Amino acid sequence: MGWFWGPSPPADPTKSLDPSLREFLDRETPPEPPPSKRTKAATAMEELKAAEAARASPDGRNAAGVPAQSLYQDGRFADIWKTYTPLTAIQAETKNDQERLRDLIDDWEDTKIKVAQTARENCSFEEMAQNECFKHGPLSSKMTMCLAERRAMNRCYEMQMKFLRALGYLNVAGDEEAGNEVQMHAYALYHKMLDQEKLRKDAKKRGEPEPELAPVMSRQNLQKVLPAGVPYSAAEEMEILESVTQVRRERYQSDVNKMTVEERELELRLIAAEARQSAAIAARYVGLQEEQKEKRQARAEAGKSTFGDKVFKMWGRE
């Protein structure tokens, strides 16, 4: 009936031994190793650091030769991972010409969407003020559909889009650190522009001459975020203005009289940035076309021309 009280503890077999024999066994038995201080969390942290180091390396492999995709970053199964090729590399090799051109267009569209999202982030306070007005604003503001707050939000969004593009945000969208720097700089320059506009308005109300203020889009401000070699002087920017399309130039000349001093500076820098970005996209497109041409020539020399290659040659686009 011992099961009512649970199982009895196991008996110690050494109790029945002679005391001298038991003392000898205790003396000769090796001591148990101390419990390891290495926890699962520490092991996981080391593997995470190794994976991050592998991602930072040019070929995506750590010091042990294991890529970041491996669950074991300590070098286990490194011989198996030697032949590993990432899926993105395989997809890039198997893409045809049309898919590569589509990727170029998609990258450009995704970058423009990212600029719009970043501009809205920089206008968070204006958007909060607009929402607060609609929810808890006074009746006088609600009667005008919060016109003042909506104008402030719309102008902030529009100007932030221009600041981000003028400061080259489209060119650093893939670099998070550089993108954050441009975003903060665009935010600071916009509010500096608002302060200068307020100073000019106050001086005009008092009947005083407009104060001489440093340009918002000055060389010093632009050099903090723009890469070296970008033109900064007004003369160089005017040369770029002459090189843009006639429609874009006429639109600028028709709107310039409606702009403030700060807006004119920003618009001119924006046109220059658009010209640089268009040139960069054109260079990528030309490079892609040259690469496709070399591949067609290589296939022709090997006697493996495709039907598309023959069509290109027939159209005289070789």
CA dist 259 and 247 (Å) reads 18
SS3 state of residue 67: strand
Q: What is the pLDDT of residue 82?
A: 72
* pLDDT, position 229: 47
pTM: 0.61
Distances (CA, A) of 237 to 56, 242, 260, 261: 38, 9, 18, 16
Cα distances (angstroms) measured from residue 298 to each of 61, 111, 294, 302, 308 = 32, 34, 6, 6, 14
User: Is the C-alpha dihedral spanning 170, 172, 175, 179 positive or negative?
Assistant: negative
Output phi, psi for 119, to 5 deg.
-60, -40
Return the residue matching tokens 């005289």.
316
pLDDT tens for the 318 residues of the chain, in order: 445 555 556 666 666 777 777 777 777 676 666 655 445 555 556 655 655 555 545 455 555 566 666 666 676 777 777 777 777 777 766 677 677 778 878 888 888 899 999 999 999 999 999 999 999 989 998 899 999 999 999 999 999 998 998 888 877 766 788 888 889 999 999 999 899 889 988 998 998 888 888 778 776 777 666 654 454 555 666 676 676 777 777 777 777 778 877 787 788 778 777 777 777 778 877 887 787 778 777 877 888 777 666 766 676 555
269/275 Cα distance (integer angstroms): 10
144 three-state secondary structure: coil
